[in-house]
Chain A
């Protein structure tokens, strides 16, 4: 590197830093981004075919979806298995399901009431969204937006280290995008009943064999105890935002 190059490079570096600082500053002041913590966020008004879900399907129906889902994962009747002579406690699938189903019961009551409330709030916030554009009640909406951003990015960052593709990595399975809805409790707790599969995109003849594995990889990411979800701020929870939709995208598109 000759002298001129060094000077040029130095100048460029200084310029970059200055530009960075300037823009960061304007960004922070103008947009009033809360200086809290990690945020990388998607806020989607239109979530495609699932958009109707914002209207809060009856909780019962929702849970039935989940049951169908899990049923699909348990082969209905595999070859009759010779039973050991000591008869174990009830049939395997049933007992397992009951265990997991009974546990979150108290919370599901609570959730139901929240969901009823949240459907009302959904209507209200729809209104807020438009008033915001016209400049009224700005502060409330801005805070909400920031908090939502903050929350979703914390959830994504919590889940991502446990989104493990394992054997599916590097295969045509990576074309499959799985969409999950999770309904964590205020403390971030999540049981499998609070996870439902909303669909899988990109499934084709070449990767259909991996579809259920891709769904399970996404489900395991949110249920893995090593990647607990952050607690939900009470205010947000009470606004009915316990519903989170996550798109699991195996590989960054280039």
Chain B
């Protein structure tokens, strides 16, 4: 049996490390004394949620508004902010029992020492004020407690009914400033609400705020509806409906609540996705056993065919610059991912791992493509647009249909358990950490994120 003998110097390091229980530094003592400042390496950061305090927001004058008294609104706004930050997974809000009352002068002049004592690294303060113009103003201030320094501040003026949006925007400001990521709390999710047994499922298109508030159904459940997607401009939603037993893609106008057929063809149209400029929809059309991808203006018109191979070409998704499209095709046997130019030219396979790949969605940052990987179950993964750097993010019986948050950091998908069960919405950080279930009133599938509202 060979016994590996470490080199003397390596062994000395080892002995030193063990004897002295040093960790976190790869450095070693040198014999020669050195002059000047001493220097050390702090190697290997930890990853914990940041402790943040979000005390109730005071109001300069307690006034009744259609959304409630401003004093009460100050409490509610702080809670919405706190929930947003907690749900991101990156923040650990200080428990409310340890929070202090904040008066108006303190909003801009925080008691750092006191916040330091409760363990807060960051502090979000603000105020809620009823304006004379019938609108609500929320001031939002972010502080670094350790450095005793203000980091950022912003004010939001909203209609009373939109008070939650002011809170989301404040949370977005905090999140963006502290993580370096883009904002995403002030956005909405459209999805398929599912209820009833598997063989008699009722499906309705529903929308809600990112935190589940302001939930409402857009369709009544009489027809099967599937795969809704928000337009990047937020004005319309495209989805597939079995209205009159004809499965077709529709465009729903958010403002008017009206829906219209996208393409009047005697064939099934499905898997609609918007172009980044909201002017076009790509979709699949099945003609006698062969599904290909087409593009058509949102306003309707003559579809242009982008793929033309025997097999099922579907789940097309534009790159954020609108120049390329990723899609899935079983032309090689099983489902795999392909990238082509937006005009359909240059089709090239990018996925080569074992199993099959489906439902690609291009990140709004452009750097990654999320997908469903099949093989002994469904899992959500990401890869670069050239197919390299594949990482699987989830592990469950069936995780399907990834959809990116507007900031390209978080992915929503739906998870279906075995048997006669309802699916539910989940989110996962692009690093694969922090898988979290999103509460919905009933079962839920096919989530799609709206752009950031403004």
How many residues of chain B get a CB closer than 8 Å to chain A's CBs? 82
Which B residues, 90 to 131, have Cβ-Cβ distances below 8 Å to chain A? Answer: 90, 104-110, 112, 116, 119, 121, 127, 129, 131
Contacts of A84 in B (CB 8 A): 60, 104, 107, 127, 129, 139
Contacts of B8 in A (CB 8 A): 23
B38 touches A245 (CB 8 A): yes
Interface-forming stretch among B146-154, B250-258, B274-282? B146-154
Contacts of B110 in A (CB 8 A): 96
Verify if B29 is at the interface (C-beta below 8 Å from A). yes
Query: A23-B12, A40-B23 are contacts. A74–B151 as well, Cβ < 8 Å?
Result: yes
Verify if A224 is at the interface (C-beta below 8 Å from B). yes
Verify if A90 is at the interface (C-beta below 8 Å from B). yes
Query: A74-B151, A157-B24, A164-B45 are contacts. A244–B179 as well, Cβ < 8 Å?
Result: no
Verify if B17 is at the interface (C-beta below 8 Å from A). yes
Verify if B33 is at the interface (C-beta below 8 Å from A). yes
Verify if B199 is at the interface (C-beta below 8 Å from A). no
CA distance A245 to B40 in the complex (A): 6
Across the interface, name the chain A residue whose C-beta is closest to B92. A166
B12 touches A100 (CB 8 A): no
Chain A, 139-171, contact with B by CB distance < 8 Å: what is the 0/1 string? 001101110110111011101110111111111
Verify if B288 is at the interface (C-beta below 8 Å from A). no
From the candidates A85, A168, A221, A243, name the one contacting B42 in the complex (CB within 8 A): A221
From the candidates A82, A86, A144, A153, name the one contacting B40 in the complex (CB within 8 A): A153
From the candidates A24, A93, A243, A252, name the one contacting B150 in the complex (CB within 8 A): A93
Contacts of B112 in A (CB 8 A): 96, 99-100
Chain A, 193-228, contact with B by CB distance < 8 Å: what is the 0/1 string? 000000000000000011111001111110111100
Verify if B15 is at the interface (C-beta below 8 Å from A). yes
Verify if A235 is at the interface (C-beta below 8 Å from B). no
B150 touches A40 (CB 8 A): no
Which B residues, 18 to 59, have Cβ-Cβ distances below 8 Å to chain A? Answer: 19-50
Chain A, 171-183, contact with B by CB distance < 8 Å: what is the 0/1 string? 1011000000100
Query: A23-B11, A96-B143 are contacts. A129–B21 as well, Cβ < 8 Å?
Result: no
A85 touches B129 (CB 8 A): yes
Closest chain B CB from A222 CB (angstroms):
9
CA distance A112 to B11 in the complex (A): 43
From the candidates B48, B88, B141, name the one contacting A92 in the complex (CB within 8 A): B141
A39 touches B35 (CB 8 A): no
Contacts of B151 in A (CB 8 A): 73-74
Query: A54-B36, A100-B148 are contacts. A153–B44 as well, Cβ < 8 Å?
Result: no
Contacts of B152 in A (CB 8 A): 74-75, 78
Contacts of B47 in A (CB 8 A): 164-166, 169-170
B181 touches A167 (CB 8 A): yes
CA distance A132 to B320 in the complex (A): 63
Query: A144-B33, A224-B146 are contacts. A82–B38 as well, Cβ < 8 Å?
Result: no
Verify if A89 is at the interface (C-beta below 8 Å from B). yes
Verify if B195 is at the interface (C-beta below 8 Å from A). no
A95 touches B109 (CB 8 A): yes
Across the interface, name the chain A residue whose C-beta is closest to B147. A192
B33 touches A132 (CB 8 A): yes
Closest chain B CB from A53 CB (angstroms):
7
Chain A, 1-33, contact with B by CB distance < 8 Å: what is the 0/1 string? 000010011001001100110011001000101
Chain A, 75-91, contact with B by CB distance < 8 Å: what is the 0/1 string? 10011011011101111
A12 touches B31 (CB 8 A): no
B33 touches A223 (CB 8 A): no
A39 touches B104 (CB 8 A): no
Verify if B144 is at the interface (C-beta below 8 Å from A). yes
Across the interface, name the chain B residue whose C-beta is closest to A174. B45
How many residue pairs, one in A and one in B, have C-beta atoms under 8 Å apart? 307
Looking at chain A, what size class is its interface with the partner chain?
Answer: 35 or more
A225 touches B116 (CB 8 A): yes
Query: A9-B1, A168-B179, A217-B45 are contacts. A85–B60 as well, Cβ < 8 Å?
Result: yes
Contacts of B153 in A (CB 8 A): 78, 81, 92
Contacts of B433 in A (CB 8 A): 169-170
CA distance A180 to B5 in the complex (A): 39
Interface centre among B25, B42, B144, B147 (most CB of A within 10 A): B42
Contacts of A144 in B (CB 8 A): 33
Contacts of A43 in B (CB 8 A): 27, 29-30, 32-34, 38-39
CA distance A28 to B28 in the complex (A): 15
A213 touches B32 (CB 8 A): no
Verify if B157 is at the interface (C-beta below 8 Å from A). yes
Verify if B220 is at the interface (C-beta below 8 Å from A). no
B39 touches A247 (CB 8 A): yes
Verify if A133 is at the interface (C-beta below 8 Å from B). yes
Which B residues, 299 to 350, have Cβ-Cβ distances below 8 Å to chain A? Answer: none
Query: A82-B157, A166-B50 are contacts. A149–B149 as well, Cβ < 8 Å?
Result: no
A151 touches B33 (CB 8 A): no
From the candidates A9, A92, A153, A167, name the one contacting B22 in the complex (CB within 8 A): A153
Closest chain A CB from B171 CB (angstroms):
14
Verify if B16 is at the interface (C-beta below 8 Å from A). yes
Verify if B3 is at the interface (C-beta below 8 Å from A). yes
CA distance A169 to B5 in the complex (A): 36
Verify if A250 is at the interface (C-beta below 8 Å from B). yes
B180 touches A148 (CB 8 A): no
From the candidates B17, B32, B37, name the one contacting A243 in the complex (CB within 8 A): B37
CA distance A173 to B180 in the complex (A): 10
From the candidates B22, B50, B61, B121, name the one contacting A40 in the complex (CB within 8 A): B22
Contacts of B129 in A (CB 8 A): 82, 84-85
CA distance A82 to B130 in the complex (A): 12
Verify if A234 is at the interface (C-beta below 8 Å from B). no
B147 touches A223 (CB 8 A): yes
Verify if B431 is at the interface (C-beta below 8 Å from A). yes
List 12 contacting pairs A-B, 8 Å CB cutoff, sorted by A.
Answer: A23-B8, A23-B11, A27-B15, A43-B38, A73-B144, A88-B107, A152-B38, A153-B40, A163-B42, A164-B48, A171-B431, A224-B146
A-B contact sample (6 more), CB < 8 A, given A41-B40, A89-B109, A245-B38:
A43-B29, A96-B150, A164-B47, A210-B180, A247-B40, A249-B43
Those 5 A-B pairs whose CB atoms lie nearest each other, nearest first: A54-B36, A40-B22, A42-B27, A169-B47, A170-B431
